[in-house]
Structure 1
Amino acid sequence: MTRLGKACLSGDLGENRYREGIKWLKRATESADAMYNSAPYQLGLMYETGYGDDIFKDESYAAELFTEAAGLGHPEASYRMGEAYEHGKLNCPRDPALSVHFYTGAAEHGHAAAMMCLCAWYLVGAEPILEKDEEEAYEWARRSAELDYVKAQYAVGYFTEMGIGCRRDILEANVWYVKAADAGDERAKQRLQAIRLAVSGGTPMDVAPPKNAKMRKSQSKEDKECAVM
C-alpha cells in the first residue's frame, strides 16, 4: 500500500492519481507495523509542509505521525522527533528527556546523525535526566564515524587530539582528520595543517584551544557543537 501510494503521488502510474495516492498512503498508515513502518513517516512529511489541495500544513499532526513511525522502529522518524524536542520544532516543547529518548531510538537502529546528536547531549549533560559523560560522548561519535559520517570523523579526530573522553593520541587523531578531510571537511583540513605546523616547530596545543577552554560546564550545547560538531 505504501509503494502504491507513493507511485500514484509521483506520477509513475500515470497522471491524475494524486487522491488515490493519498488514500493508499493513509490506509498503509493505519496498517503500519514494525516491518512496514514507513507510511506514517511519509504521510507525516506531507503534513509537515502541506501537499496539494487535500493536505493542509499541520505540524502537530506531522509530529504525531512521526512519533507513530518512531514507535514502530523507523530511524529517520525517531531522529526527526529527537530534533523536534531538542529545538522546539513541530509545535513540540523543548524537552531534553524526550530528545535523548528519540535520538537513542534512531541511533540504536544505525542512524549516524542521531549518534552525533547523542554525542552532543553527553558532552554537556542535561541534569537531572542525563549526566555529562565525555566517555559516552566519544563512544557515540566513534560509532558514527565508523559509519563514515564525516562530521563524526572530524569530531573523533578532535576528541583524540585533545583527549576528550579517551586517551590523547595525535597519530590516531591524524588518521580521523585525514578521513574527514578526504571527504571535504574544511575544519579537518585546518587541523591537519595545524598539526603539520606543530610537528615542524610547535605543539598542537599551540594551534588548538586547550581542552578546558572547550569543556567549561557553563558553556552551552550550541557552543560546543561549533567547536566539535
Structure 2
Amino acid sequence: MHLHQHQHHHLLQPQNSITLRCHPLSPSPSVLSPSPWHRRAPSTMSSPSRMGSMSETTLTATRYNRASYSLTNQPDALKVYRAMAEKTGDPMVQFTYAKYLLEVAALYEESDPKKKTNTKGQRATDNASRTHIAHPLTTPSESQRRKKKMFEDEGVRWIKRLTKEGMGGAAFLQAQWMDEERYGFKRNRTKSRKLYQLAAKADIPEALYIVAEYDEAAGFLDHAFTRYQKAAIQGYPPALLRLAQVHLHGELHQQQNIALGLETLREASEKATDACPEAPFLFGQILTCSYAKARIPNELLYQYGGRAVGVRYFAQAAHWGYLPALVRCGHIFEHGLEGEPMDLARSFGYYDQAARVHNDPQAMLGLSRLYNRGCHGPADDSDASQREQRDVSGWLIHMERNEDGAFAWCRRAADLGHVEAIFLLGWYYETGVGVLRDYAQARTCYRRAAVKGHAGAKERLSKTNSMTRQQHEVMKASSSSQDKMCRVM
C-alpha cells in the first residue's frame, strides 16, 4: 500500500481493536505496523494451508515478531533508523516511523489488571490516536522499561517535530495526547484546540468532527455543518450520525430533509462500531415509530423495511454494547413486541449484559422478573402456563424459579432508585419471594415508591392501612392459592 494514498484517516485508525476481532486467517490490518524499512518477501509459510495448521494462540503471539529484531536488540539500531528517517525527507514516512516506534514501545508496557481500556459507548475520536495494543502478561524488566522509554521518547520527538512542520496527522496525535495527558503532556485546551484546527485543515475526519463540535458550541453553525459534512464524506461514523440528525431536524441553518437524513442515518448505521453504536439504535427507533423528535412519513419508512427490520437495528446497536439498545431488546423479547416472538432466553442475555456490564437498574428489574418466571407484580394477571406456551426459546420450561436471584436483582435496582423496582421489592417482602415475609419492610418500600409517584404503591398502602397484620396474612394465604403457577400475583 502506498503511504501517500492514505495520508490521514487510515493511518490514525486504532489497530488493536480491529485486528483482535478478526479471524487470524482473514485479511486484516496489522496489529503492529511493519518496519518502514523492511518489506517481507512472499513466503510459503504464510499460505493458507500452512497457516491453517498453526494454532490461534501462536498466530496471536507472532504480533510481537513484527517488531524489528535489530531495532529491539542492537544498541545503535535506533540511531541508524533515525538517520534513515532523516534521509528520506518524506514526512509521511517519518510519521509512520514515529507511530511504529510507539507501537513497539507499547509491547513493553507493564500489564496492570487495574487498567481497563473499555471503549464501549465512547465516540471514535476518543481512541483514534491510541497506539498501544494488548499488553504482554509478563512484567517487564528494568532493561525492557528502558527500551520502552527510549522508543517512546524517539516517537514523541518525531511527532513534535512533524507537528511544528505543520503536519496534520502529527498535530492530531499531539492534541489527543494533551487531552489524555499521555507521554508527559499536560492538558491544555487552548493548545490542543489549535492543534485540532491544524489537523482539520488537513481534512483529518476525527479532527474535523472535533472542531465542528467547537464551532457548534460557539454558534458558528455554518462552519460546523461544513466540517461535519467533510468528515462524513470520508465515512467517519460520528459525523455521519450528526449529519443525519441535522437533516432530520433541520438544524445548523439547514432545511429539514427527512429523506436525506434517513439515507445518511442508514449509512451511519452500517458503519457503526463499539465506539459509535448509537446510529442503528436511532434508526431502529425511527423504523418502529418510537422516535418522538421528528414525524416521518410512512412511505419513507417502508423504503427501509419499516417495523419489520427495526428490531434488527436495535440488535445491531446492542451487539456493539449500546446500553439503551440492550435494554430495549431485552424488553422486546421479554414481551414479544414489534412483531417478534416472546424469547425469554434472548431477553435474559440482553438484560444480563446491561445489568452486569453497565449496572443498569431497568435491566436488573428485567432479570428479577425473569428469575421469577416473568411475573411483574400484583397487577400481573397473566398465567405462567401461558408464558410457557408463548416463549419460543423454552427458557421457562427448562429454568426453575430462582427466588433468590429475583430478590437480589430487584434489591440492587431498588438501591439505585428505580421506582418500579422499589415497588416490586415491597411486593416481594409482602409475599415472601426470596426473603422471609416482612410486612414492615413491604410498607417501607411502598412508601418510598409512593413518594416517587408510583400509583400502584399508593394503592397497596391504602389497602394495607385498613388491615391488621393477621388480616393481611389471611388475605395473602387466600390470594396465593389463586395463582399457583406464579408466586408473585
What amino acid does structure 2 have at the position aligned with 1:82?
G
- Compared CA separation, residues 64 and 211, structure 1 to 2 (3 A): farther
- Which runs of no fewer than 5 residues in structure 1 stay unpaired? none
Distance 2:267 2:404 in 1: 45
- Compared CA separation, residues 24 and 177, structure 1 to 2 (3 A): same
Q: Which residue of 1 aligns with 2:373?
A: 124
Relative to total residues, which structure has the larger helix share, 1 or 2? 1
Q: Which residue of 1 aligns with 2:317?
A: 69
Q: Which residue of 2 aligns with 1:136?
A: 405
Moved more, 85-94 or 132-141: 85-94
CA deviation after TM superposition for structure 1 residue 137, in Å: 0.7
- Compared CA separation, residues 42 and 30, structure 1 to 2 (3 A): same
CA deviation after TM superposition for structure 1 residue 138, in Å: 0.9
1:146-167 deviations in Å (ceiling 9; x for gaps): 2222111111112123321023
Q: How does 1:34-113 map to 2 (within 5 A)?
A: 34-49=274-289, 51-52=296-297, 53-56=299-302, 58-108=306-356, 109-113=358-362
Distance 1:89 1:46 in 2: 16
Distance 2:256 2:460 in 1: 54
Distance 2:471 2:419 in 1: 22
- Which runs of no fewer than 5 residues in structure 2 stay unpaired? 1-239, 290-294, 375-394
Identity of aligned residues (%): 29
Paired residues, what number? Answer: 220
Q: Do structure 1's residue 17 and structure 2's residue 284 form an aligned pair?
A: no
- Compared CA separation, residues 202 and 67, structure 1 to 2 (3 A): closer
Q: RMSD between aligned alpha carbons?
A: 2.8
Distance 1:96 1:77 in 2: 16
Moved more, 82-91 or 175-184: 82-91
Larger Rg: 2
Q: Which residue of 2 aligns with 1:8?
A: 247
- Compared CA separation, residues 208 and 15, structure 1 to 2 (3 A): farther
Moved more, 104-113 or 64-73: 104-113
Extract structure 1 runs of 4+ deviating beyond 4 A. Answer: 214-217
Distance 1:98 1:159 in 2: 25
- Compared CA separation, residues 210 and 27, structure 1 to 2 (3 A): same
Q: Which residue of 2 aligns with 1:115?
A: 364
Q: Which residue of 1 aligns with 2:180?
A: none
- Compared CA separation, residues 168 and 206, structure 1 to 2 (3 A): closer
Q: Which residue of 2 aligns with 1:27?
A: 267
1:49-77 deviations in Å (ceiling 9; x for gaps): 39334331522311111111111112222
- Compared CA separation, residues 129 and 206, structure 1 to 2 (3 A): closer
Q: Which residue of 1 aligns with 2:144?
A: none
Moved more, 152-161 or 171-180: 171-180
Q: Which residue of 2 aligns with 1:177?
A: 446
Q: Which residue of 2 aligns with 1:203?
A: 470
- Compared CA separation, residues 121 and 205, structure 1 to 2 (3 A): same
Alignment check: 8 A CA contact 1:157 1:177 kept: yes
Distance 1:208 1:37 in 2: 50
Alignment check: 8 A CA contact 1:5 1:24 kept: yes
What amino acid does structure 2 have at the position aligned with 1:9?
L
Q: Which residue of 2 aligns with 1:218?
A: 485
Alignment check: 8 A CA contact 1:82 1:98 kept: yes
Equivalent residue of 1:209, what SS? helix
Distance 2:335 2:440 in 1: 36
Equivalent residue of 2:423, what SS? helix
CA deviation after TM superposition for structure 1 residue 23, in Å: 3.2
Q: Which residue of 2 aligns with 1:159?
A: 428
Equivalent residue of 1:54, what SS? helix
Distance 1:44 1:170 in 2: 44
Alignment check: 8 A CA contact 2:249 2:256 kept: no
**Taking structure 1 as the reference length, what is the TM-score of the superposition?**
0.81
Alignment check: 8 A CA contact 2:464 2:472 kept: no
Equivalent residue of 2:301, what SS? coil
Alignment check: 8 A CA contact 1:123 1:134 kept: yes
